[in-house]
Amino acid sequence: MSPNKLHFLLIPHIGPGHTIPMIDMAKLLAKQPNVTVTIATTPLNATRYGPTLTGPIESGLPVRFLQLPFPAAEAGLPEGCESTDKIPSLDLVPNFLAAIGMLQQKLEQRYEMIKPVNCIISDKYMSWTGDFADKYKLPRLMFDGMSCFNELCYNNLYVSKAYDGLPETEPFVVPGLPDRIELTRNQLPPEFNPSSIDTSEFRQRARDAEVRAYGVVINSFEELECEYVKEYKKLRGGKVWCIGPLSLCDSDNSAQAQRGNVAAIDEEQCIKWLDSHKPDSVVYACFGSLVRVNTPQLIELGLGLEASNHPFIWVIKSVHREKEVEEWLAESGFEERVKDRGLIIRGWAPQVLILSHPSVGGFLTHCGWNSTLESVCAGVPMITWPQFAEQFINEKLVVQVLGIGVGVGADSVVHVGEEDRSGVKVKSESVKNAIEKVMDDGIEGNERRKRAKELGIIANGAIKEGGSSHLNLTLLIQDIMHYTKTSS
Ligand code: UDP
């Protein structure tokens, strides 16, 4: 390969919240002059995420997939279990993590086919990529799919152990942050607040690989969290590049409608429904790809939406509880009562398409980082209902630091797979109250909306020519180019 060309190998973690932004990143990188991109993933994931790349590839975008056979049978997993949202039960999580580890050998067997590579960008949870990069003497950038706010919180929690020994519900201040951020132990991610399934070894390996990484690529933009970007850069010796929001890399409606999966609603029907409502009037409720709230909690959510009296789109993923949920929707009369103002999407929603429609005025979200950032991009304030992982940390950024959200009052994590034993944590009244605050037309509501819209404008500017993320992408490419030239 000519010394002025770069080949990036992207290795996403195989779960929607991690793969979707990496696919966007692949497009973004491949649009840069003299850059080609290979995405290494498993066959079912290549099929699932491929459609948004088909058009761009046909028109010459230099991106391709390298398929790594997924060792499902070897790891004792059912056929087709190739993504975090397809794991049928909690007891198979260790098998899934073992299968991920086996992908290193699959990549090594195929590496000759794609050489030379100049740089790896791999997900934090594909920790074996650290050893792979060392073996082939390649610089590796970590992608965690989180904000700098989050990375800094995690790091300071790791280093300080400020939560250690405290009662579960006692607030403590996360040390060393630009703002006073308080959390409780039972709001922390599994790294510091383990779930019933032991993933500590997997997480420790991810942490070790993170520390060893050459640099970090962040799906965020500097203006959103300047102080945190500054601090995180200090921590990582400057090698941090905020190149987001990645969801803005493609403004094509049909690409957006297919982002992450085949949507369970026709794109035009969805837009038509949204067109029939006033600007800023609709509440969009969706809990990402992994959250599976239990049925009584789901009912409280639905009743809260109904009581708020706003038109709404409610995305229901009732895997394992389909029958119960469908019975409630029909037998309680809920669906009939709300039919004139509620659109229920059963399955995958075209989220970015929905959020960017002018009639959406509030997003009831679980605060996954992608969803949070997609809401910021659309200038939509949030009703925050964190569930697990780093979502309580994201909520702090949205509600406290940015002032663009109102919490429903969730106070502790419900780890994945532990939903059935968690009961009802948030009542419909609290859901309704938080929705009303966000959708309110008074001074507070209007100021929150104004802040959200202003941030949306800045987010959209960040990735355009002259914007901070656009510049960071150029700097990242220059850095890798320099690394390549000086190390060869
Ligand atoms: N998503 C979507 N439709 C759905 C559910 C999720 O398009 O019905 C997308 C969403 O736009 C986001 C990603 O899936 O890009 C979810 O990532 P996030 O970090 O918000 O949450 P996670 O699924 O990882 O908990």
Task: Give the pLDDT band of residue 106 (cuts 50, 70, 90).
Answer: very high
What's the CA gap between 231 and 153, in Å, rounded?
11
The pLDDT, as a whole number, for residue 190 is 94
Condensed to tens digits (0 to 9), the pLDDT of residues 434-444 reads 999 999 999 99
Confidence of residue 255 (pLDDT cuts 50, 70, 90): confident
pLDDT computed for residue 400 by the predictor: 98
| Distance between Cα 374 and ligand 1 center (Å) | 9
Q: What is the mean pLDDT of residues 232-259?
A: 91
- The position carrying tokens 């403004």 is 251
Is the pLDDT assigned to residue 2 strictly greater than 70?
no
Rounded (5°) CA angle 367-351-244: 65
Task: Tell whether pTM > 0.90.
Answer: yes
Contact 471, 464 (CB under 8 A): no
* Residue that the structure tokens 């394992």 belong to: 320
pLDDT-above-90 percentage for the chain: 91
Checking if the pLDDT of 415 tops 70, the result is yes
- Token pair 């938080």: residue: 434
Name the residue of 84, 254, 259, 289 whose CB sits within 8 Å of the most ligand 1 atoms, as the mutation to test its pocket.
Answer: 289
Mean pLDDT of the chain: 95
252 pLDDT band (50/70/90 cuts)? confident
In sequence order, what are the residues at sequence separation of 6 or more whose Cβ sits closer than 8 angstroms to the Cβ of residue 60?
none
How many percent of the chain have pLDDT more than 70? 99
Tokens of 195: 């779930």
Which residue from 45, 220, 371 has its CB within 8 A of the most atoms of ligand 1, so it is best to mutate?
371
- The CA–CA distances, whole Å, from 34 to 118, 121, 193, 214, 282 equal 12, 17, 44, 22, 43
CB contact burial 262-284 (16+ within 10 A = b; e otherwise): ebbbeeeebbebbeebeebbbbb
Give the residue, 1 or 274, on which the prediction is more confident: 274
Residue 254, pLDDT > 90, answer no
The answer on pLDDT for 71 being more than 70 is yes
User: Residue 251: what pLDDT?
Assistant: 76
pLDDT at 232 (0 to 100): 98
Distance (Å) from CA 261 to ligand 1 centroid = 10
| Residue 10 φ then ψ, to 5° | -100, 130
d(CA 108, ligand 1 centre) in Å: 31
Q: pLDDT at position 320, please?
A: 72
pLDDT value for 308 = 97
Rounded to whole angstroms, what are the CA distances from 435 to 277, 342, 430? 17, 15, 9
Encoded amino acid at 9, one letter: L
ipTM above 0.90, yes or no: yes
Q: Is ligand 1 within 6 A of the CB of residue 348?
A: yes
Dihedral sign computed on CA atoms, order 148, 100, 480, 235: positive
List, in sequence order, every residue forming a beta bridge with 39; answer none if it has no partner. 10, 65
- At residue 3 the predicted structure's pLDDT band, cuts being 50, 70 and 90, is low
CA angle 349, 351, 355 (to 5 degrees): 135
Q: How confident is the model at residue 430 (pLDDT cuts 50, 70, 90)?
A: very high
Asked if residues 360 and 367 have their Cβ atoms less than 8 Å apart, the reply is no
Q: How far apart are CA 407 and CA 383, in angstroms?
A: 6
Q: Is 456 in the pocket of ligand 1 (CB under 6 A)?
A: no
The average pLDDT across 126-140 equals 98
User: What is the residue extent of each domain of the chain?
Assistant: 6-244+463-487, 263-460
Residue 343 pLDDT level (bands cut at 50, 70, 90)? very high
361 Cβ inside 6 Å of ligand 1: no
What CATH architecture is 263-460? 3-Layer(aba) Sandwich (3.40)
User: Do 72 and 99 contact (CB within 8 A), yes or no?
Assistant: yes
pLDDT in tens, 59-69: 999 999 999 99
CATH topology of domain 6-244+463-487: Rossmann fold (3.40.50)
Whole-number Å distance, alpha carbon 113 to ligand 1 midpoint, is: 32
Tens digits of residue pLDDT in 362-396 = 999 999 999 999 999 999 999 999 999 999 999 99
Amino acid at 396: K
Any ligand 1 atom below 6 A from CB of 260:
yes
Please indicate whether the domains covering 6-244+463-487 and 263-460 agree at the CATH topology level: yes
The structure tokens listed for 350 are 């075209």
Written as one letter, the residue type at 202 is: F
- Measured CA to CA, the distance from residue 57 to residue 388 in angstroms comes to 36
